[in-house]
Structure 1
Amino acid sequence: MMEPRPFEVHASGSLLHGTKADLVPGDLLVPGHASNFEAGRTANHVYVTATLDAATWGAELAAGQGRGRIYLVEPVGALEDDPNVTDRKYPGNPTRSYRTREAVRVVDELVGWVGHSPAQLQARRDGLADLQRRGLAVIDD
């Protein structure tokens, strides 16, 4: 399998959620838990995407121990564009990234996905660390 390609909608047409949490079908992801991406912060939204690339970044960069996981999910309520991606980086939402204040149900785990190269992953981590150092790692949640 190849590395995920940016902006390419996953072949299943499903929404995806990348994390390190060990979940099973039927589990609900709900806001109000520790953020996957900022220590000491409570997430007010659950984030989902239609692209394998964005879900892979979520799985690889999420806080916690263990391996990254990607789940096929279905929202219980309304979605909105994720302003952290769509407004700041990719106008028009080509990453098909969304968030919700309501629950998201795990439908299945996506297995056999391929992560980004070690060089890409390190470059992304270095970039995020630089934003943090400069006080620019702001999450609109």
Structure 2
Amino acid sequence: MQSRKDRAVLSGGLLILALATILSAQAVEIAGLQDFKALHGRYAPAGDCTRWPQVMVDASGMSFEVSGANEKVSRMAYAASYGGNFYEGTSQWFFPFGRGGNYPVLMTFNANEKEGVMTIEGHDEGWKGGPPLSPRNRALVDGSPYGKCR
């Protein structure tokens, strides 16, 4: 027989799992970033464009320069409603490496409502109980926060 506390903990855990599933399910796949002109530009750690990794955002998508390698992503998931139904801020969320419902990292543009700031954090990788971040994703997360180069 479960105690009231055990049932509350189980209910809370199920609620968190359901919310995480709903939030990820709100992402839609897009091709390119032609509709996101305000985000276009080069991003580097703390906006210092002598540092790496760097992310280039343009109409065709995103290019990631990590450890001397360049990876182009033209199809990605845009989490249009990640901020909730009534969100009216400027942040925009993307999952650049999503495959089959797995979203290893989350990119937030205009992070914390600051124009030109972008963060990258682990999403389905790097969390307690989840798989560790791949070397590429670890480098991207470690470089965060990013700023737009001038």
Structure-2-length-normalised TM-score:
0.24
Higher relative contact order (CA 8 A, sep 6+): 1
Pair member with larger Rg: 2
Q: TM-score, normalised by structure 1?
A: 0.25
Structure showing the higher strand proportion among its residues:
2
